[in-house]
Amino acid sequence: MKRVLTYGTYDLLHWGHIRLLKRAKQLGDYLIVALSTDEFNAIKGKKAYHSYEERKMMLEAIRYVDLVIPEVSWEQKPQDIAEYHVDVFVMGDDWEGKFDDLKQYCEVLYLPRTEGISTTKIKEDLEALKR
């Protein structure tokens, strides 16, 4: 049982998120998503449109996702990797290199981001419609 772990806010869920989760699941047999809480988003300087509970429910509905846990701090990753016996830590490559310290605990992979879509782009495009 190869266990994969990834982190994120996953606000305004879109096809770029889904492509990341699909490829992450293909790296193993069990995918855990550590979902940024509303409080942690504030620390990240983000204000999600959907609450944590709403974002969690949507992620749990995705066939590639096996478990959703809360992400409450930058520092919890080593503990999560140990607690959930994680074999592979994976993020989109906008984080390239940022989590290489985790290589002492498990495999670390960065997957190409999906171009042309982002939560920010969705917000900006919707705003433009109103003008």
Least Cα distance to 15 among 64, 68, 71 occurs for 64
Q: Which stretch binds ligand C2G (CB under 6 A): 7-15, 56-64, 81-89, 100-108?
A: 7-15
Task: Tell me which DSSP letter residue 9 carries.
Answer: -
Least Cα distance to 14 among 47, 55, 42, 52 occurs for 55
Q: Does residue number 65 form part of the binding site for ligand C2G (CB under 6 A)? A: no
Q: Does residue number 52 form part of the binding site for ligand C2G (CB under 6 A)? A: no
Tokens of 128: 């433009």
Applying CB under 6 A, among 65, 92, 102, 106 the residue interacting with ligand C2G is: 92
**Cβ–Cβ contacts within 10 Å for residue 80, how many?**
18
44 assigned to active site? yes
Residues that bind ligand C2G (CB under 6 A): 6-10, 16-17, 20, 36, 71, 91-92, 94, 113-114, 117-118
